[in-house]
Amino acid sequence: DVKVTQSSRYLVKRTGEKVFLECVQDMDHENMFWYRQDPGLGLRLIYFSYDVKMKEKGDIPEGYSVSREKKERFSLILESASTNQTSMYLCASSRSWMKNIQYFGAGTRLSVL
């Protein structure tokens, strides 16, 4: 079974802090994604990566950055957390071929106070 692991289920941070959300997948997938999920808005893509050290902006990259130093790990960084970044963050991974099914982690619920 594919396993995508997010380092924290719940996180509470203060405004202005630098926040790291970590995601690890164990299926050697080429692609990795970070989404945020807010009620009534569905999932919105923040950043994605096709390969190690590659990154592409999604629909809402402002205020975020990412790092992919190893194939299995994709980190989302909030450089200076703000209250409007309080949200559920979901990481996903997929292969670059066949059906490209995205497999998700359990999510990190981040509160910025």
The closest of 109, 83, 78 to 15, measured between CA atoms, is: 83
Task: Note the residue count of the chain.
Answer: 113
The pair of structure tokens assigned to 20 is 């790291």
Residue of 23, 24, 105, 110 interacting with another protein (CB under 8 A): 105
Residue of 7, 8, 43, 73 interacting with another protein (CB under 8 A): 43
Residue of 42, 62, 69, 84 interacting with another protein (CB under 8 A): 42
How many chain residues touch another protein (CB under 8 A)?
29
* 34 belongs to the binding site for another protein (CB under 8 A): no
Q: How far is the CB of 29 from another protein (least distance, A)?
A: 10
Backbone angles phi, psi at 83, to 5 degrees: -60, -30
* 61 belongs to the binding site for another protein (CB under 8 A): no
Sign of CA dihedral 8, 108, 21, 24: positive
Which residues of 14-55 form beta strands (DSSP E)? 19-25, 31-38, 42-49
The residue ranges that bind another protein (CB under 8 A) are 9, 31, 33, 35, 40-45, 48, 50, 56, 58, 88, 90, 92, 94, 96, 99-107, 109
